[in-house]
Amino acid sequence: MMSTLPSDLHWKLLLGSFIHEFSRLEAHVFILCARGIGTDETRKLTFGKRIDRIKAALKQQSPQASEGMLALLREARGLADFRNALLHNTAFHGMGGSAPQVEEVEARLKQLERLLDALALA
């Protein structure tokens, strides 16, 4: 990504990029959920509960019509789990702790960017 930067700055920019892109995902999921249950009700829900509501509505449709979006939502849920691990363990980065390493964050950032592109087309 930005290999000419000092490693600590590279890490900070990578972390910030992931957070920024994930916030775009959260906004997309918010809008999808709000279309079904309204903005006020959506605000009361966590990211995971919003995904659950969208999935429940999609399951009312035919499997052929909803399977693509359901797969994207499953991927979004996995990225949320990664985001939680990343943000709650970042202090351990480079200290031999359990925080994800740079290569994993770079790969997940690319996955997140592809997911956002796919959601925009869905």
For residue 43, is it within any domain? Answer: yes
Q: What is the pLDDT of residue 64?
A: 83
Mean of the pLDDT values across residues 5-26?
Answer: 90
For residue 3, is it within any domain? Answer: no
Return d(Cα 72, Cα 77) in angstroms, integer. Answer: 9
Q: What is the pLDDT of residue 2?
A: 44
pLDDT band at 92 (very low <50, low <70, confident <90, very high): low
Mean of the pLDDT values across residues 93-118?
Answer: 82
Q: Compare 93 and 19 and report the one with higher pLDDT.
A: 19
For residue 4, is it within any domain? Answer: no
Contact present, 60 and 79 (Cβ < 8 Å):
no
Q: Indicate if the pLDDT at residue 73 is higher than 70.
A: yes
The chain-wide mean pLDDT, for the chain, equals 88
Q: What is the pLDDT of residue 36?
A: 92
Contact present, 13 and 104 (Cβ < 8 Å):
no
For residue 2, is it within any domain? Answer: no
pLDDT band at 65 (very low <50, low <70, confident <90, very high): confident
Enclosing domain of residue 18: 9-121
pTM for the whole structure: 0.84
For residue 30, is it within any domain? Answer: yes
